[in-house]
Amino acid sequence: MSESFDTAEESKQYSLENSSPAEIVLDESNFGNVWHSGIQGEIREGFSFYAPRKDEVGKVFYDYITSDMVSEPTLKAVTEDQYKKFYKQKIRAVPVKFVWDNEKRHWRIENT
């Protein structure tokens, strides 16, 4: 059974069991890029990225950053400041599937 997320907020509860360390790269040309529409039921592979945080009592949890249709667990920072921030963190990448939902006209994220 797979989980499905229609929003980034919902994906914060995503399991990190299959995660791996993310590679961080600076790619200023990626600024403002958008995903193109798909066709009903189309599936593309990718990753969701999470940064470790600590709550008030010091317990570590992972905060959702973004998802991208990439073949490797590579998080693209689009500014030098963003790159420096991401590089300092131990960001985790989780493999996901992007499924096109023609009715809602967006990509739905599902775990693999």
Domain ranges of the chain: 4-31+39-111
Q: How confident is the model at residue 4 (pLDDT cuts 50, 70, 90)?
A: very low
pLDDT digits (tens, 9 = 90+) for 14-70: 558 789 999 999 998 888 777 788 888 899 999 999 999 888 888 888 999 999 999
Residue 15 pLDDT: 58
Is pLDDT of 13 > 90? Answer: no
Whole-number Å distance between alpha carbons of 88 and 95 = 22
The reply to whether the predicted model has a pTM over 0.85 is no
Whole-number Å distance between alpha carbons of 111 and 2 = 6
Whole-number Å distance between alpha carbons of 64 and 11 = 7
